[in-house]
Structure 1
Amino acid sequence: MPHRIPLAEPDLTGNEARYLAECVESTFVSSVGPFVERFESMVAEASGATGAVAVSSGTCGLHAALTAVGVRAGDLVILPSLTFIASANAVAHCGATPWILDVDPLSWNLDPALVETCLATETTMHADGRVIHRESGRRVAAILPVHTLGLAAEMAPIVAAAKARGLPVIADAAAALGARQHGRPVGALGADLSVFSFNGNKTVTCGGGGAIVGDDPRLLALVRHLTTTARVGADYDHDRVGFNYRMTNLQAAVGCAQMERLERFVAAKRRIRAAYDAAFAALSDRVAPFPEPAGNAGACWFSGFVDRRADPDGVAGLRARLKAAGIDARPFWKPIHLQPPYREAPRTPQPVCEGLWWRVVTLPCATALPEADQQRVILAVRALLTDG
């Protein structure tokens, strides 16, 4: 039996072991240590932002960011349905509810035209500046676009719609470090705060962890305050309900070693995506590539294809046959509006999401994927697609 080809495993062949040994030797293994500050600086610079706050996970980062911009119990937060459930969970952790919008078929990201239409036709601007969702009477507190697959959402019109109404924008950039849009990195696209994840399957990993980036020093200071238990001074005084969302020096040490190779990792991801797209181009009647609209250079976190068949069982069967051949092929996120915790949340019709998510087949795309393994994947996919 040929060896199994995993979907996305980390490349830990840089300075990870050496930096971890430094942590152990220094005894700085918890949330205090030089690697945390170094990692924050590296992430801020790579994202095009002024500063960064390292945290224990991307989900915690989203929760802290939403809290920092004033999202509270009873509010609504606009976000796309096609996202990992953590985006919606972070909203719920604030006591708020997602307002779930469909996505743009050309990018799989939050549809800017739909954002503007919903705000223009379904909300009212209160005299005190609040944006009120007319049907529910709830305050709309923020917009949370997601950079799906590491491809930036079209931020300019989303930010414009938000600014016209005084709404903050928090970008879920979990897998988008290294992506650019119209020449600008994702932390410089107009969001008040952007949040990255460094989970084990991300292009850059700390084994876990996240980071919140932005340009407003006062907002970043509030984020840091909230994520470090809202402690005031050296004694045990705390001025509000805070969170213990700190990243450890051990995690940051791994992250620093990973960030040293960010450009190499993103280049590898793009090569892998391009190889799959070229290999399956002749099968365009059966499959479509993952999106990348003009003006974007995505981080290509995952690669694969969209099965054009209107047959969910057939698509699932294709993934199962690839797995049986030792190739880790997986589905993509089930949309938020179909998840039990959010079935009662307000939403738009979802024709794009509902016609897309189950057709997606993700394929092995680790940054260190050997060319021979990728060719084995390509040959197996071609054989299965041509067999029917």
Structure 2
Amino acid sequence: MFAHLIRFIRDQYRTKDFIPLHAPVFNGQERNYVLETIDSTFVSSVGAFVDRFENEMAAYTGSPRAVATVNGTAALHAALLLAGVKRGELVITQSLTFIATCNAINYCGAEPVFIDVDRHTLGLSPSALDAWLQDNARMDSEGTCRTKDDDKIIRACLPMHTFGHPVALDDLLGVCTRWNLVLVEDAAESLGSFYKGRHTGTFGQLGTLSFNGNKIITTGGGGMILANEELGKRAKHLTTTAKKPHPYEFVHDEVGFNYRLPNLNAALGCAQLEQLEGFIAAKRSLAARYAEELQGSDLQFFHEPHDCRSNYWLNAVICESGEQRDALIKTTNDQGVMTRPIWKLMNHLPIYAHCRKGDLSNAEWLEVRVVNLPSSVLPEFLQ
């Protein structure tokens, strides 16, 4: 049934062997930089490559400050704390997301509220957010957003840029401003993605990135907080065990976190970042080929939203039905071409089933139809 698509994918990757969903590429200075780190003996959280990686990431994204962390979830946890999220408060997010988005909220002692996504972005819907707030929230005399039924504080809004495709940030910012919500962007998947010429993760008060092994660039494990100078300074302090600078004494002025990115990982990240634009060009070329190949078929290729440049981290198709999705996934994987469904909705997981939610019609529709296709950089771009 999907023989033509499988043949097309194998032609792109020029192999009869197993094709993964997304594999890292080490085609630059990775080995040299890592060996340099080993030779320096500064392999842990102190070293020149950490500062370099932060500075280069800030320059690339246009963020005033970038703070490296041990992984994207740690970055998101710290960002939410810096945004003022406290125990017992609510944070609005999308149900169609990777679980780290919700776990980071949980780490703060807060509770997620699940709002629907837009089908053209796969991300949090501004109109669905506004509708839920109109029905369920009010502003108190101090300008704090609270629930009508039990007076809980709704502190922040946490959208996720799914598969690297930016959400509708202008409209989302407008809703957050009207309701006095802090916007924190989960940009884990969208390094190199731009909304109206501006990098994702720089629209909210804070944003976060991930450099897990399956991301567009990797440090093995790693993350980054994007923030202004003031919050960036606080982020650095909070994620380095809240230790006050001193030549030899250990003085910590608050409960901090050991979320520092080791120099060894940062060295890998610096080499990867040097190749990022090449990776994006390769992935956008692959996306264009998928779109052309699938034109007129019963699999709808997912295109980047209007006025955006997506990194096309993971290519996606929307099937006509859940039955077609299951058949596509089984057939491709049985023949050594890895595909996967989108995540289960967070409110469908037992650990988050009790959480508040709005109407999730779009998310439920997408949950049973979206499939990711192999998205690694093509061999021809590595020569």
Counterpart of 2:209? 196
Counterpart of 1:333? 343
Question: Which has the larger displacement, 263-272 or 124-133?
Answer: 124-133
Q: Deviations over 1:335-362 (max 9, x none)?
A: 1111111100000121111111221121
Where in structure 2 are the equivalents of 1:212-251 lying within 5 Å?
212-214=225-227, 216-234=228-246, 235-251=249-265
Describe the SS at the equivalent of 1:279.
Answer: helix
Q: Deviations over 1:161-209 (max 9, x none)?
A: 2223332111000011111111222244x21111000000100110110
The answer on 1:114 being equivalent to 2:128 is: yes
Structure 1 unaligned regions, length at least 5: 372-388
The answer on 1:350 being equivalent to 2:364 is: no
Describe the SS at the equivalent of 2:146.
Answer: strand
Counterpart of 2:28? 14
Q: Deviations over 1:285-339 (max 9, x none)?
A: x111114221111110101311112xx3442232111111111111111111111
For the 8 Å contact 2:216–2:313, the answer to whether it is kept is: yes
The answer on 1:45 being equivalent to 2:81 is: no
Where in structure 2 are the equivalents of 1:77-226 lying within 5 Å?
77-188=91-202, 190-214=203-227, 216-226=228-238
Counterpart of 1:55? 69
What displacement does 1:217 show? 1.2
Amino acid paired to 2:336 = G
Amino acid paired to 2:236 = R
Amino acid paired to 1:109 = G
For the 8 Å contact 1:75–1:139, the answer to whether it is kept is: yes
Amino acid paired to 2:231 = L
Q: Normalising by structure 2, what TM-score?
A: 0.92
Describe the SS at the equivalent of 1:201.
Answer: coil
Which of the numbers 284, 294, 304 marks the counterpart of 2:316?
A: 304
The answer on 1:3 being equivalent to 2:17 is: yes
The answer on 1:288 being equivalent to 2:291 is: no
Describe the SS at the equivalent of 2:141.
Answer: coil
Q: Normalising by structure 1, what TM-score?
A: 0.91
The answer on 1:274 being equivalent to 2:288 is: yes
Equivalents in 2 of 1:308, 1:177: separation in Å? 30
Counterpart of 1:265? 279
Equivalents in 2 of 1:291, 1:121: separation in Å? 32
For the 8 Å contact 1:269–1:301, the answer to whether it is kept is: yes
Structure 2 unaligned regions, length at least 5: 1-14
For the 8 Å contact 1:273–1:304, the answer to whether it is kept is: no
Q: Percent same amino acid at aligned positions?
A: 38
For the 8 Å contact 2:166–2:305, the answer to whether it is kept is: no
Give every structure 1 segment of 4 or more consecutive aligned residues whose post-TM-superposition deviation is greater than 3 Å: 368-371
Tell me the C-alpha RMSD between the 2 structures. Answer: 1.5
For the 8 Å contact 1:289–1:306, the answer to whether it is kept is: yes
For the 8 Å contact 1:55–1:209, the answer to whether it is kept is: yes
Amino acid paired to 1:245 = Y
Describe the SS at the equivalent of 2:269.
Answer: helix
What displacement does 1:220 show? 1.0
Say if 1:111 and 1:351 are closer, same or farther in 2 by CA, change over 3 A.
Answer: same
The answer on 1:71 being equivalent to 2:81 is: no
Equivalents in 2 of 1:136, 1:287: separation in Å? 45
Q: Deviations over 1:14-55 (max 9, x none)?
A: 100000000110001000001001111111111121110000
Amino acid paired to 1:73 = R
For the 8 Å contact 1:108–1:291, the answer to whether it is kept is: no
Equivalents in 2 of 1:320, 1:370: separation in Å? 28
For the 8 Å contact 1:276–1:304, the answer to whether it is kept is: no
Describe the SS at the equivalent of 2:295.
Answer: helix
Equivalents in 1 of 2:151, 2:49: separation in Å? 46
Equivalents in 1 of 2:177, 2:325: separation in Å? 41
Amino acid paired to 2:105 = V
Aligned residues: 365
Equivalents in 2 of 1:187, 1:42: separation in Å? 15
